[in-house]
Structure 1
């Protein structure tokens, strides 16, 4: 196991130390099922350890892929770094402003216009009104939905909604960018534009942690890969090697 002294470098943007996280899995979905299970003395829940003693440090400006099959713990780890979840044991420390492209558009209100939602979502992501105003035109232009910007979001198609939500998130002033399945956003031309923007942010020295099932994209975008299996680190090193291990 890594020691604290091994992890806490002066340029570390993210330090994860001996992290464990458990969830309770419910086995019933209705009052009737719960009653029958109780009568038959069957367990109503099971403890599931999503992460079990995970430790790593990510340096400032690194691009790192979290890899693993479904249930390996990678999305849980991303949410712990973002602060959406807290560990049951161990610690997760970050340096600088963190923005998570994890649940894109989670803070959008359907009864507000696109314009109003830009300011609302940007505030949720930690931007001041002045910062949002300075980036407003770029956000709208990037989303490519200028003519609908004053329309209520509830009238948007799913593609329009995702374009605007992603555009807000990608224009926030951040030090650490957490990305979950970026290529699920919009059509292929828009996906390529998003990927180009993410590469620009990395070139500017932003720290990035990426979760994606697109292994070819991950190996090109990230230099380092952390492979999780059953909630533990199985490999931490070159991203291309990590992808090879995934495919084997």
Structure 2
């Protein structure tokens, strides 16, 4: 598809008949015979569908909250949209790059300094060296790590690591922002900085795909909700309606 068609397409994300299967202890591996069998035949003892027959679209600039109990496929769905997990059935089409705030401290190298990690991680996400240089001071200020730029990453506290990761990824200029419970960490002051940064990104027209158990955060950032239960999409509606249904089921 030509680049201008990607830019003009109304949907940022299109998910069609999506399914992903796991074993109880590890990801299932399919044999060549399995690939040519029907889905019922491919489901073997000890396996389950983390997501099954899930379909929805997300328009550009929409803010979507994904809701459900633990183990219902929310984070799995986010990883499928991010492209770090491949589906067993169906398709995920993402039009535009993603800034993934999922498993947020992953990808940083313990023996490298904070400075080196900023350059490495931002570069791996496609930021040019010139952009990294231009944004470096702002990233460090946001993360509140001005006194630690030459400190090896492995010597940072967990809170420092999260602040650094959020500061880097939230500076990416990708049109789609994927967030998985990142606002549940850090102290109150840092969470408020995260809130303000996400508000800025949304005001800039970014698309938000947000997984959280925090009802206040979901109501603050999202206009629409997807309710997952037992790997199925049971409700796609305005966020207040979805939260009401969830609370009614599990009050």
The answer to whether TM tops 0.5 is: yes
Q: Does the 8 Å CA contact 2:97/2:174 hold for their aligned counterparts?
A: yes
Other structure's SS at 1:106 match: coil
Q: What's the CA shift for 1:139?
A: 0.5
Counterparts of 1:144 and 1:10 in 2: how far apart (Å)? 39
Counterpart in 2 of 1:147?
147
Counterpart in 1 of 2:197?
197
Counterparts of 2:196 and 2:228 in 1: how far apart (Å)? 27
User: Residues 63-111 of structure 1, C-alpha deviation per residue, up to 9 Å, x if partnerless?
Assistant: 0001111111111000000000011111000111112100112111111
Structure 1 segments unaligned to the other structure (5+ residues): 1-8, 28-43
Counterpart in 1 of 2:91?
91
Counterpart in 1 of 2:167?
167
- Name the TM-score, length of structure 1 as normaliser: 0.87
Q: What's the CA shift for 1:126?
A: 2.4
Counterpart in 1 of 2:5?
none
Counterpart in 2 of 1:112?
112
Counterpart in 1 of 2:11?
12
Counterpart in 2 of 1:216?
216
Q: What's the CA shift for 1:161?
A: 1.2
Q: Does the 8 Å CA contact 1:26/1:45 hold for their aligned counterparts?
A: no
Counterpart in 2 of 1:130?
130
Q: Does the 8 Å CA contact 2:18/2:51 hold for their aligned counterparts?
A: yes
User: Residues 147-195 of structure 1, C-alpha deviation per residue, up to 9 Å, x if partnerless?
Assistant: 1111111111111111111111111111100000022231110001101
Counterpart in 2 of 1:49?
49
Q: What's the CA shift for 1:10?
A: 3.1
List structure 1 segments (4+ residues) > 4 angstroms apart after TM superposition: none
Counterpart in 2 of 1:81?
81
Q: What's the CA shift for 1:130?
A: 2.0
Counterparts of 2:45 and 2:233 in 1: how far apart (Å)? 26
Paired residues for 1:227-242 under 5 Å: 227-242=227-242
User: Residues 198-229 of structure 1, C-alpha deviation per residue, up to 9 Å, x if partnerless?
Assistant: 01101100001000110121012100001011
User: Over aligned residues, Cα RMSD in angstroms?
Assistant: 1.5
Counterparts of 1:12 and 1:244 in 2: how far apart (Å)? 27
Point out the more displaced range, 197-206 or 148-157: 148-157
Q: What's the CA shift for 1:45?
A: 6.2
Structure 2 segments unaligned to the other structure (5+ residues): 1-7, 27-43
Counterpart in 1 of 2:245?
245
- Name the TM-score, length of structure 2 as normaliser: 0.86
Paired residues for 1:67-78 under 5 Å: 67-78=67-78
Other structure's SS at 2:112 match: coil
Counterparts of 1:62 and 1:71 in 2: how far apart (Å)? 25
Aligned length: 224
User: Residues 113-155 of structure 1, C-alpha deviation per residue, up to 9 Å, x if partnerless?
Assistant: 1000001111222222222122111111111110111111111
Other structure's SS at 1:104 match: coil
Q: Does the 8 Å CA contact 1:163/1:185 hold for their aligned counterparts?
A: no
